[in-house]
Structure 1
Amino acid sequence: MTTAPVDPMLGRLIDGRYQVRSRIARGGMATVYLATDLRLERRVAIKIMHGHLADDNTFKTRFVQEARSAARLAHPNVVNVFDQGQDADMAYLVMEYLPGITLRDLLKDYQRLTPEQTVDIMDAVLAGLAAAHKAGIVHRDLKPENVLLADDGRIKLGDFGLARAASANTATGQALLGTIAYLSPELVTRGVADARSDIYAVGIMMYEMLTGEQPYVGEAPMQIAYQHANDQVPTPSSKFSGVPPELDELVLWATSRDPEQRPADARAMLDRLREVEGAVRGVAGPVPALYQPTMVLADTTATAETRVLNPASAPVPTALAAPEEQGEESAALSARASARKRKGYWLFALVLLLAGLAGGTGWYFGAGPGASVTVPVTAGLEPAAAEQVLTDAGFQVAQGERYDPEIAAGLVSGTDPAEGAQARRGATVTVLVSLGPRILQVPDVVGDPEAAAREALGDFTVGDEVVKQFSDEIDAGAVVGLLDASGAPLPAEYAERGAITLIVSVGAVPQVAGMTLADAEAALDAVGLEASQGEPQFSDEVPIDVVISAEAQNDPMRPGDSVLLVVSKGPDLVEVPNVVTGQTIAAAREQLEALDFAVTSNVPGFLEGAVVAAKQSVAPGERVKRGTEISVNF
């Protein structure tokens, strides 16, 4: 069974306080996890910078800047930041956890939103952004992914990772920051941003919410950037005719290429949005500033008398109608008001029903039987202890077995689903008890090259170090034999992943017989063998100081072992003495036989006491081999 890799952060305790439970999302700079604050016993979102960015001071500075920027804001439409710190090599940021979806998720599900829904969301976004602008903070990365729609109806602005203090012209420090689809012309052309750059991004978001698509598309990012810098964003109604002119005008005002022609900040745009909310919703007059919109995800399209919004001034009232026309108009307005009222009741009932369903679904999957729970770590525990851990986590437990080369037999090897995986509360988790390693047949690799042998022994753990050994039969670099973990010869069957040491041939021991002693010693030293000398011997065939024989002192021979060298003393020659100088025959015989010569004489035995007066067959002083026959005669 193949399982997906487990995120190593799951289950980890950050800074001794935050217990990581599950992963929420992953971005280019960090990953966001759901965690439990053990100190305050509450759920939080913890944002952890990617490890490969930890050494990049630019990213670390930006990460800390997010915490500082968001911490300066206290607004119901801005995600709260609780904590920021460093645990070992991990920089982290602790934020308010909002179960729900993002505006991007909503757009994927509904393609485009109604004008009423757009106004609801933009009212909250602009309110949060106005608080940031008032605090002197430019967000610089506004996009649907950073607008959070909580399950309880709250709408919040998050991810101040690119935020920084605003000035008249805040330089980005890089060519482009933020997502290319929402970059203002001044960011593209000059690399500077202020509050009006955020307003441009808000205008692009409004266009996308009303039409279901972004105003500029292209195959390459620079194509999109070029259009932002050189083209005017079209009105949403040119794509979808149901968009009220008031929202057309707001989008055009927010996305003007000249920053001077846009709202000065989010507060100015929010005030204008609330002025036209009444017209968009079919309510007479502007909606009060304290109006709290309710998101309705049904597809409702309101029709109302409209008026042209002049970005540079307040709306201009129209001329009064004639009295009879006023009466007809009043009746029509009353009829429309009654229809809207009835429609409002139905919509209110629908909202209550959907809220109840969402609440029940949220309970079922959040805390009820359908909730997902992280499978705890049980590897290495006794089966009874592992079963208790899983039962406490809310799972049913079944027993299973599997071979495991690392976990001792009888202990828990793991679970199915694997530890760290998400499983439904009450689901059955199988505890897999280790049977120990499998016993496998060892392949025959003797005579194979070392690399081929290592590949063939892939089910075992072959050490990097090898034992070198001399061999007359196996070529250098090929395997001579195998050793087990204790250094003994490897048996035919062996435990899976058991430690194996290769014995590799370094070739044959050099043949040094017939070499001079000096050459023999050099040849043996070259292959890591030591030369020792035995007792020199006479030899009629081998010249003096030449090696007669070389005898290996170990079997098998390995580098560092010794070879016994026997060197020739040459032929065994003896100098013949002068035995015919007044000695008796008996004395001459005794002297020659003492030197291992064979002695003959023509003198009868009873006369051996006589003095030699003749001659010897080998002249005195001559060197001859031992055992040579020498005659001593009268």
Structure 2
Amino acid sequence: MSRQIPLNEVTAALTASLSVAALEPLAQGGQKYVFKGKLENAEAAVKVVLLPDGPDSVYVLERAQREVEVLATIDSPRVVRVLSEVVEIDFDGGAQAVAWVEEWLDGSDMRKNLDKTWDYARCARLIANIGEALAAFHDLEVVHRDLSPANVRELSDGSFSLMDPGLARHLAKTALTGLFQPGTPGHRSPEHVPGGDIQPVSDIFALGILAFLALTGAHPIDPSGAEDDYYRRLREYDSPKIETICSDIPTALRDVINRCLQRQPARRFLDGQELVEELQIHKQVFGSYFINA
């Protein structure tokens, strides 16, 4: 994209294309805008992505369509709901964008809440809530592939919701999602290494990373340095046992995190449903955090 679009042009286009009102800009980074607004008098989040010039525009458009398609299919209180289809917008000067509407989630992204280490109850709630979200994804044979703090929302009531499946892979539609391995450095599984095969078990590893990071302030596998070195560590290094840092961690929480972070996929929980079933056994630690608790 050769230029930024003035906010007044963006808001006017959104009002006309999506019937949203009372738009307030919340964030702008790169070619993406996020607004808070109202759709039929209900609070909503409006996302806009400017399409780059050249062939990359096709990829950006497909990613937006994939995100909305996945969200429209999944019915879970732990996953943000989409409220519109993707619309394409043409601006003066030839610039183009895509936009859609999602439900409004209060609270803040998890990445803003990592300045201090968490207590065990908060971490257990994270695992239970996002475990339920992953179970909804995996039940539809969809792998999120980018389970990072930016894509997890901690709501004002203390619960967690999963967002932004723009890099999701539908296991039955590999032609749609491609074979490259995306994700956020520090939050990748060993299967994210180029040539790997990302499966539901890969999301389980990423959830283990989030829990480890929340409790310790550090990643279990160091993502710093050259990407090749990071990939080598993912392939060859075992994550440290959480109890070596958090010596008084409850046994059930310890065992769940350590199992999520097993380097060999077969030693992890195989998907979100198997994780949730294990968590529900340990009612004292996790039992009160489920939707139907």
2:87 aligned partner: 85
Distance 1:168 1:91 in 2: 22
1:316 aligned partner: none
Secondary structure of the corresponding residue to residue 76 of structure 1: coil
The structure where strand makes up a greater share of residues is 1
The structure-2 alpha-carbon separation of the partners of 1:226 and 1:288, relative to structure 1 and needing over 3 Å to count, comes to closer
**Which structure 2 residues correspond to residues 589-628 of structure 1 after superposition, within 5 A?**
none
Q: CA deviation at 1:42?
A: 2.2
Distance 2:158 2:166 in 1: 24
Residues 168-227 of structure 1, C-alpha deviations (whole Å, 9 max, x = no match) = 999963543011211111221423211111111011111111212212222333332221
Distance 1:290 1:8 in 2: 41
Residue type of the partner of 1:42?
Answer: A
1:226 aligned partner: 232
1:335 aligned partner: none
- Of structures 1 and 2, the one scoring higher in RCO (CA 8 A, sep 6+) is 2
Of the three residues 123, 142, 160, the one matched with 1:155 is: 160
Instruction: Answer whether contact 1:172 1:191 (CA < 8 A) is retained.
Output: no
Residue type of the partner of 1:173?
Answer: G
- Equivalenced residue count is 279
Residue type of the partner of 1:159?
Answer: D
Distance 1:29 1:260 in 2: 39
Of the three residues 187, 209, 213, the one matched with 2:214 is: 209
Instruction: Answer whether contact 1:9 1:20 (CA < 8 A) is retained.
Output: no
The structure-2 alpha-carbon separation of the partners of 1:171 and 1:265, relative to structure 1 and needing over 3 Å to count, comes to farther
Of the three residues 253, 259, 273, the one matched with 2:259 is: 253
Instruction: Answer whether contact 1:138 1:198 (CA < 8 A) is retained.
Output: yes
Distance 1:28 1:256 in 2: 35
Deviates more, 1:67-76 or 1:45-54: 45-54
Q: CA deviation at 1:8?
A: 4.4
Q: CA deviation at 1:139?
A: 0.7
The structure where helix makes up a greater share of residues is 2
Instruction: Answer whether contact 1:79 1:156 (CA < 8 A) is retained.
Output: yes
Distance 1:276 1:215 in 2: 24
Of the three residues 89, 96, 101, the one matched with 1:94 is: 101
TM-score, length of structure 1 as denominator length:
0.41
The structure-2 alpha-carbon separation of the partners of 1:140 and 1:21, relative to structure 1 and needing over 3 Å to count, comes to same
Residue type of the partner of 2:58?
Answer: N
Instruction: Answer whether contact 2:129 2:290 (CA < 8 A) is retained.
Output: no
Distance 1:212 1:264 in 2: 26
State yes or no: 1:104 paired with 2:111. Answer: yes
Q: CA deviation at 1:69?
A: 0.5
Structure 1 segments unaligned to the other structure (5+ residues): 293-634
Distance 1:16 1:170 in 2: 29
Across the aligned residues of Structure 1 and Structure 2, the Cα RMSD in angstroms comes to 2.8
Distance 1:182 1:246 in 2: 23
Distance 2:37 2:74 in 1: 23
Distance 2:269 2:126 in 1: 18
Q: CA deviation at 1:158?
A: 0.6
Residues 352-377 of structure 1, C-alpha deviations (whole Å, 9 max, x = no match) = xxxxxxxxxxxxxxxxxxxxxxxxxx
State yes or no: 1:274 paired with 2:275. Answer: no
Instruction: Answer whether contact 1:34 1:45 (CA < 8 A) is retained.
Output: yes
* Aligned residues with identical type, % of pairs: 25
Please say which structure displays the higher CA radius of gyration: 1
Q: CA deviation at 1:241?
A: 1.9
The structure-2 alpha-carbon separation of the partners of 1:291 and 1:152, relative to structure 1 and needing over 3 Å to count, comes to same
TM-score, length of structure 2 as denominator length:
0.85
Q: CA deviation at 1:272?
A: 1.3
Distance 1:213 1:125 in 2: 20
1:74 aligned partner: 75
Instruction: Answer whether contact 1:143 1:201 (CA < 8 A) is retained.
Output: yes
Instruction: Answer whether contact 2:36 2:46 (CA < 8 A) is retained.
Output: yes
Residue type of the partner of 1:223?
Answer: D
1:18 aligned partner: 20
Residues 601-622 of structure 1, C-alpha deviations (whole Å, 9 max, x = no match) = xxxxxxxxxxxxxxxxxxxxxx
Q: CA deviation at 1:131?
A: 0.9
Distance 2:24 2:106 in 1: 13
Structure 2 segments unaligned to the other structure (5+ residues): 91-95
Q: CA deviation at 1:76?
A: 0.6
